[in-house]
Amino acid sequence: MEIIMSVVIGFLFMAAVYLMLSKSLIRIIIGTGLLSHGAHLLLLTMGGLGGMAPPVVADGVSVADYADPLPQALILTAIVISFAVTSFFLVLAYRAYQELGTDNMNLMRGTEDYE
Amino acid sequence: MSNLLLFPILIPLLFAIVLMFFPKNVSLQRSTAIAGAAATLIAAITLLVKVQNDGVQAITLGSWPAPFGISMVSDLLSVLLVLSASLITFFVILYSIPTIGEARERSFYYSGIMFLLVGVNGAFTTGDIFNLFVFVEVLLMSSYMLIVHGGEKPQLRESIKYLLVNIISSALFVSAVAYLYSVTGTLNMADLAVKIPQIESTGILTLIAVMFLVVFGFKASIFPLYFWLPGSYYAPPTPILALFGALLTKVGVYAIMRTYTLFFTMNTGFTHELLAIVSILTILAGCIGALAYFDVKKIIIYNIIIAVGVILFGVSQLNEAGINGSIFYLVHDMLIKAALFFLVGIVAVIFGTTNLREMGGLMKTYPFLGWVYLIAAFGLAGIPPLSGFPGKLLIVQGGFEGPHFWGSIIILATSLLVLLSAMRIFIYAFWGEPRETMPLEKTTYRRMLIPSVVLVIITIVLGVGAEMFMPLIQGAGEVLLNPSIYIDAVLKE
């Protein structure tokens, strides 16, 4: 199971890198979404996929059967953080499109302001 | 009182929340922000005295036993950095009042600064690797808000790049934590330091160590990962730039210092060799940038990169002189960078441009500013009585004692280039034919000058009184060189 998950996560990372190297800003943001999905699934997988019972104390479940609760808490934290950052990024992209009139990263170099 | 080490985090958090209730009342915003920064400063000084007298302070939140709860640890290194960060934030707020403009002050500017201080102080104090990630996100989120605050075109353009780079490095941070957790099964730094030496196959740990170097290298702007910094830091106004230049990269430097002395010591032949090479390349890349530009802000921005390289070279040597030198240089560099950005900001306001070619002759009209800038530039380069000297001396000594004597030679040689880059600002802006200047009100000038001058005086005291501060630096270095002190303080309870 961990092997399959690793391959899927690898594919997500690959797709994220491909999208983030493109010119269009919205593709880049989709890429960051895929990247954080990959990172969260990696966190879940690396915690180990043994243990079938959800980590809620219940009668008749031995300790070995519970899923590891720590990675789940870490993922929950990472999800809300990446959610906040993504929403900020989307609003920033919208404002940048209004002000700069482009979503093409090649046109956002701005070297003329430097020298 | 065992909760004392949380005060430098809780006080700015409280003030940041209070500041959000009355955004339109500018004078109340200013006084509340000053009060908050001053209270944080006092808490940090009290904590420094406490740690100096009683040794490493550690607390595990919620009274859970140590590896299971979140530990907060304050040793001398972290408390020195917390103190410097609080001090700089205090001066940045004083400097912001005449420069940032009322429109920005009305839209949660001081809240943003306070939240940034929460993130920085938390990142310096935490003893848990995932909690470090959360505090880094707190400070990054505030820095996103501050870098785009005002919404000018260059700010919008550069903050997109800044955001993207930091989102990628945060995702890598989560991945690195995932690998570390699957190998060791713990996230507490002291517990990691106990468990990692017990693991026999060090290959995977070396890989994770390099991954953490990449993650923190993005934050600290080390050699191949510094590409985002010159553009992004150029965009925001001077007080925000001073705050970023003094604090943000130093969090990455601190994290590398902590991880590479506390638990990634299993294969120093590879990891620390890599760190030494990368830090030398960082210095060279920064020097090229600092000499290439005719722009006052760009020159100081590239000097941030040079200083990161110098500090990390000291860390990579893993001997007493190198580590002590790095700690001294880290504190010195935070203060001097903030002071230099303040002074350069005044020069830029007087001329109405940051281009060196359009400046000249300021020595006749503003002689005091000129002399203060000269002292700060000498301090940056490390001229003996000033604060850059003792740290760099120890780092160079560490290099000669360790295997990388060539690194020390490069640091000595590049000090000349640092001096040249800082003196070029002095020669172009203060000497030569007087150029046309923008009218600057006497009171505004004075209110901008006072925080800068006080900060420069503090760096002079740090340099002249280096003997007085050495016990603190050596105490901090001792904990880094003997991780057992750190582990005992956290796990004994």
Best mutation target, A70, A97, A98, A106, to test chain B (most B CBs within 10 A): A70
Give the model's confidence band at B94: pLDDT under 50 very low, under 70 low, under 90 confident, else very high.
very high
pLDDT of residue A114: 42
pLDDT of residue A110: 67
Q: Give the mean pLDDT of chain B.
A: 92
A74 contacts in chain B (CB < 8 Å): 130, 174, 177, 181
Note the ipTM here. Answer: 0.94
pLDDT tens, position by position, B136-146: 999 999 999 99
pLDDT at residue A113 tops 70? no
pLDDT of residue A108: 81
- B133: Cβ contacts below 8 Å, ≥ 6 apart: A78, B170, B173, B174, B177
pLDDT of residue B493: 59
Any B CB within 8 A of A113 CB: yes
Question: Do A36 and B171 count as a contact with CB atoms less than 8 A apart?
Answer: yes
pLDDT of residue A103: 85
pLDDT at residue B430 tops 50? yes
In this complex, the residue of B154, B171, B175 whose CB is nearest that of residue A110 is: B154
Total number of domains constituting chain B: 1
Any B CB within 8 A of A23 CB: no
The answer to whether B304 and B221 are in contact (CB under 8 A) is yes
Question: Do A78 and B174 count as a contact with CB atoms less than 8 A apart?
Answer: yes
Percent of chain A with pLDDT over 70: 95
pLDDT tens, position by position, B98-134: 999 889 999 999 999 999 999 999 999 999 999 999 9
Q: Quick one: how many helices (H) and strands (E) in chain B?
A: 22, 2
Average pLDDT of the residues in B244-250: 93
Percent of chain B with pLDDT over 90: 79
Which of residues 31 through 90 in chain A touch B, CB cutoff 8 A? 32, 35-36, 38-40, 42-43, 45-48, 70-71, 74, 77-78, 81-82, 84-85, 88-89
pLDDT of residue B471: 92
Is residue B55 left, alpha or beta, with left meaning phi > 0 and alpha meaning psi from -120 to 50?
left
Give the model's confidence band at A111: pLDDT under 50 very low, under 70 low, under 90 confident, else very high.
low
Best mutation target, A89, A95, A114, to test chain B (most B CBs within 10 A): A114
Question: Which domain range does residue B321 map to?
Answer: 2-491
Question: Do B141 and A93 count as a contact with CB atoms less than 8 A apart?
Answer: no
How many CB atoms neighbour CB B102 within 10 A? 8
- Cα dihedral B307, B241, B462, B385 sign: positive
Q: Token match 């990372």: residue?
A: A13
Give the model's confidence band at B1: pLDDT under 50 very low, under 70 low, under 90 confident, else very high.
low
Structure tokens, B458: 């503090």
Question: Do B154 and A113 count as a contact with CB atoms less than 8 A apart?
Answer: yes
Q: Could you give the CA distance from residue B351 to residue B62 in angstroms, rounded to a whole number?
A: 55
B170 contacts in chain A (CB < 8 Å): 81-82, 85
Average pLDDT of the residues in B140-165: 92
Give the model's confidence band at A26: pLDDT under 50 very low, under 70 low, under 90 confident, else very high.
very high
Angle, nearest 10°, between helix axes B109-125 and B26-54? 10
Percent of chain A with pLDDT over 90: 63
Nearest residue in chain A measured CA to CA from B129: A74
pLDDT of residue B117: 96
Any B CB within 8 A of A93 CB: yes
Chain A / chain B CB contacts < 8 angstroms: 106
Average pLDDT of the residues in B375-398: 92
Choose which CATH entry (1.10.287.3510, 3.10.129.10, 3.40.50.300, 1.10.340.30) describes domain A2-52+64-106: 1.10.287.3510
pLDDT of residue B250: 94
Give the model's confidence band at A61: pLDDT under 50 very low, under 70 low, under 90 confident, else very high.
confident
- Residue B244 is classified by DSSP as I
pLDDT at residue B147 tops 80? yes
pLDDT of residue B475: 92
Nearest residue in chain B measured CA to CA from A93: B160
Domain assignments of chain A as residue spans, ordered by start: 2-52+64-106
